[in-house]
Structure 1
């Protein structure tokens, strides 16, 4: 059975099995307010029915409301960081049940100490630095992309011709994405040369986001620079249908929900053909981008509050254009791409009677990428299967222990074929990666928190093993400010395009040193962070004979260092939420085909971002503006002496959007419009040059620029 048929059968069976459990019952509403002893509202407090997943977080005014299918006598629980938990017995026997809470500060505490070095966490208690789904969608420059929104945070660089995350002078392959703790091997869409990719996942699929720019937990490995940790939604609030009508496509999502199970299935189709007819592109488009994406998410609550979660996506995308041919200057080559990608993630979690919280799961990525570059064809198949189990327990004396193991099987195959000569070649390998980790968190004093982790990794392909140490600590200076520090060893198996030539390589390595200060009060947060990242054992090879395994070794090295500033304010001006970030970066490395150590083209020295969102209450409309400015990036000009001897002009982008909420025919509706690069600045990302000089000894070249000066997006989102 081929992969496409397998995916169809999987979706159908999952729907038939799980939809049978989604018996929708009558819904009851529970609402109220959570305040402290001074009767001030507590924003971000959690309120839920004890022993169930029905609940909500309070808004800026301390108010909450949620629906439940339960009735009769229940126990309602309210929790907030730094305050004592409170339980209240209620009787649900009417359409709306009211319950208010007054929480008291935990005696002897000035608030929990949370290690923040290198981390941007999205949790209920850290809303001042949260990028929740609404933040991502309403960040104008992000265009609804998770990775695009993260580029408005410090530590990231806008690499407009690529689209992946480039963090603190690290290459795009050094950043990894994890969904519910498991690796997503191909989180980005496939793209053409000099055209940016996008994230494959919708931000509305996730409730929690942790973006680590360094020094992350020993639970995660195989990433030299950063880890993006996404947590899928728990139970949806209710059964509903969501429709989207965009200028570039349409989508539908159906959610079923009862007290113990839920199922969401969705389909989206995108076709930019009509858009390109209205907005001409730089290159001739012979096959406009089109994609069909399917999503399924299921939840089942078992006995003793154990839960099984299933998350699965499948997409097929196609795109073709005429692209300048650097091997034959002055001519164009017809390029096309046909990509099929699937990702399935299944997890089980629950607490044992012994007090251990166990989480286990498996994730499978299958990516089939077919490139037709007119003069040669490349077919790549990447299959990645990961299994993982972890255990966590809160011990006495403020001690928490986490330990686990994981196995990752990675298979890669590339078929290469030259149309003119008939030459063909196949490269394939598989690698079994084994890892174990243990981490201990200890809060010996009310103001101090420490974390010590150890991770061991082994690669069957490299026949190498490594141990990585992770250390971090935080000290609470006051009720509002703290300092934290982190150190860690990080190892990564070389990329597949390198391993197809030889496996006689070692792990690449980076050591992180991070110092952080954070101040937070009244929905305002200030973060200052400085870091040093030391690279070693980077893979190098000879550019002229890149196919020769004799020239491959791990003699490369490099460094990145800098400091960052982040400020977010949701309080000073009513209805205005904004943040500002600035990054200073020094980075050099010798790796891949670099003849000498140099600043790579993805490491601008200065980066600045501003994101602002203003709510017009009278007309239920939010206006958004984002600005990104970055210094020029280096590139190599073969017509000049030296290496990485030129710089692009400074990068600048101003984007705007508008979201209008209203009710149409009794249905909740959002009308959305955005324009990226509204000023039409012609940003230059670098230059491409011919492989050989012309008769005058000059390498002909052209600037790498966006396909169009602006991108327009309009949409209507309806909830039924």
Structure 2
């Protein structure tokens, strides 16, 4: 009897349960319409579900009734939901498409014309540590960047020249704010340096063309430097160098930090020990004070302040070609200040906010024998921007900025001055569309207006990148770039319009673990370049009539993996550049644009000796110049430039670093051009003077000591 009762309830309940079940069947596809295996498909809030098969098909039963939520989930794809009604029987669902999730780890990135280095990016090109340990750079940011593709070394200048463009065509930014007069003032072919210490920065973005719509007023390149966030400890850093010394003190807590730095340099003692090829009456000297502060705000924002003031000068006898005497005495004094503050915050619903203000002031007092001159350049910059991530596939950047630019130059002895005041307003927007995990499209637009020239302009920009393999991708970038003429031209002809350049760049980037390979082809056209009659020193009849082009190939290879404790990179750039500009009536190869540029940097750490040895070698095929003893313009070329530099960094104690370096070890007499007399001599020959480097070699020795509770801390911790 008991057996019959059990059998009765079993068959009764089986029928009841079968009646209350719903069978769900369907198929999951990817964006290409192919079956997607391994997708978890289940009823939300229940244990009913399954995993899709090899063709993306699935089938399972559920006892849930009424309206339910069906969930589709798989790593690397956006989780999605669909409402269904369960009432018994079988429900055959339509094919369901899952969309790939785009992340920094698996998404393609725009790489055409761009080289980025920061802790957040996989593509690390040059970090601050790379900059200070590159032998030929001697701690200068631009000196290290000159070992990268697309750049040219112009040894008598020291500024950054990119792909056939003049140094004035490179825009330099700190935390998104434009830096006025970023290089120290110099005279008489004495090379200059950037004013800012690489220890300030956590990362760099260096674009050799086709850069973001966020940046403007640069025909060739944008260099964006990002300062550090909060410092991690209280410490003092003392530096003693062959050219001067300095001290930096940092105070830090969990929510704020402050760093004060002071430096002084004077080449007079060095000049007495190792004479330079320049005839200095007073060798270059100067001092600087710097403040950097960061504070985390209660609402999650970050506030930064950076301020710097400095002063320096030199007295130099400028020898004239064909003259036996010391020449004209140039007495240069420079006074410079820069300050900026910025606020950033990652807000709700995918918004990121930024606001900043910056001001720079540069005053040059230059005496040529008895003639006194002054140049004053002031730039104020206001900026606000926002980024909105609508999804993992669509992102928008929008911003406005305003510049107030005043420039004046004059002869104070006779109360003569000419100046200009220009208000420039800009609007920019940029959109990223991730069409798939392998394909991204970027479109940008930058609009500008100048009150001085009464000119409006619109610069469209476009980029596209496609991921060919897990490690390789192809990028294309194109766009229009505008730049107002340099100050000394605008102050003479205030109605000058923008100069313009169009960029087209094709890029291939391959990145493996510790290995980077980059190849890029580019073409740039120039319109509206400034031409004039007369000479560079006394231009007349300035006008926007010049034009030209630059085209070429870049290659970059870096290997940090194959040789133990060794990091090296190799760079080659070919640039074919011609332009009609300044006093030239025909299209010529500019004197600052060598056709072939090659560099190798090698760094090897010897663990038993606690030392890093470095070597860098650079060469190019020479610089074009005009010899008036022969017909034509830019009719001669100097011998090729070569520079072999070595360095040694030694850590006898964790908090003590000794660094030594020497440039141009082989003592090659590099020549960058020639100065010629304005009139021929009695034999009908224009006499010349070679424009060379300051000395056959430059030697540097520095001792860097860190003072902190953590005896293992050193300046490398900041890099």
TM-score where L is the length of structure 2? 0.83
1:503-537 CA-to-partner distances (Å, cap 9, x unmatched) read 12110000000000011111101100000000001
2-structure distance, mates of 1:111, 1:517: 17
Match of 1:31 in 2: none
1-structure distance, mates of 2:158, 2:555: 23
Alignment partner for residue 497 of structure 2, among 506, 516, 521? Answer: 506
Number of residue pairs aligned between Structure 1 and Structure 2:
612
Match of 1:198 in 2: 193
The answer as to 2:698 corresponding to 1:702 is no
Structure 2 unaligned regions, length at least 5: 1-75, 80-99, 708-719
2-structure distance, mates of 1:395, 1:137: 40
CA apart distance, 1:353: 3.5
Match of 2:522 in 1: 531
The answer as to 2:674 corresponding to 1:679 is no
Asked if structure 2 preserves the Cα contact closer than 8 Å seen for 1:578 and 1:612, the reply is yes
The answer as to 2:368 corresponding to 1:391 is no
The answer as to 2:579 corresponding to 1:593 is no
2-structure distance, mates of 1:377, 1:328: 23
Match of 1:96 in 2: none
**Gap change, CA 1:249 and 1:397, over 3 Å in 2:** closer
472-481 or 118-127, which deviates more: 118-127
Match of 2:513 in 1: 522
Secondary structure of residue in 2 paired with 1:287: strand
2-structure distance, mates of 1:137, 1:480: 29
Match of 2:438 in 1: 447
Asked if structure 1 preserves the Cα contact closer than 8 Å seen for 2:116 and 2:123, the reply is no
The answer as to 2:704 corresponding to 1:717 is yes
Alignment partner for residue 424 of structure 2, among 433, 443, 447? Answer: 433
1:325-378 CA-to-partner distances (Å, cap 9, x unmatched) read 359675511112100111101001113345421100001010001111114222
CA apart distance, 1:283: 2.7
1:232-253 CA-to-partner distances (Å, cap 9, x unmatched) read 0111111100000101111100
CA apart distance, 1:127: 5.6
**Gap change, CA 1:373 and 1:654, over 3 Å in 2:** same
Match of 1:624 in 2: 614
Match of 2:563 in 1: 573
What's the RMSD between the two structures over aligned residues?
Answer: 2.1
CA apart distance, 1:633: 1.1
Asked if structure 1 preserves the Cα contact closer than 8 Å seen for 2:320 and 2:689, the reply is no
1:355-374 superposed matches below 5 A = 355-374=350-369
Asked if structure 1 preserves the Cα contact closer than 8 Å seen for 2:322 and 2:689, the reply is no
1:310-709 superposed matches below 5 A = 310-325=305-320, 330-396=325-391, 398-416=393-411, 425-543=416-534, 551-663=541-653, 668-709=655-696
2-structure distance, mates of 1:361, 1:411: 20
**Gap change, CA 1:214 and 1:442, over 3 Å in 2:** same
Match of 2:246 in 1: 251
2-structure distance, mates of 1:232, 1:142: 20
Secondary structure of residue in 2 paired with 1:136: helix
2-structure distance, mates of 1:505, 1:383: 20
Larger radius of gyration: 2
CA apart distance, 1:425: 3.3
Asked if structure 2 preserves the Cα contact closer than 8 Å seen for 1:326 and 1:691, the reply is no
**Gap change, CA 1:375 and 1:640, over 3 Å in 2:** farther
Asked if structure 1 preserves the Cα contact closer than 8 Å seen for 2:663 and 2:698, the reply is yes
CA apart distance, 1:322: 1.2
The answer as to 2:209 corresponding to 1:214 is yes
Structure 1 unaligned regions, length at least 5: 1-80, 85-104
CA apart distance, 1:544: 5.7
Alignment partner for residue 110 of structure 2, among 101, 105, 115? Answer: 115
Match of 1:188 in 2: 183
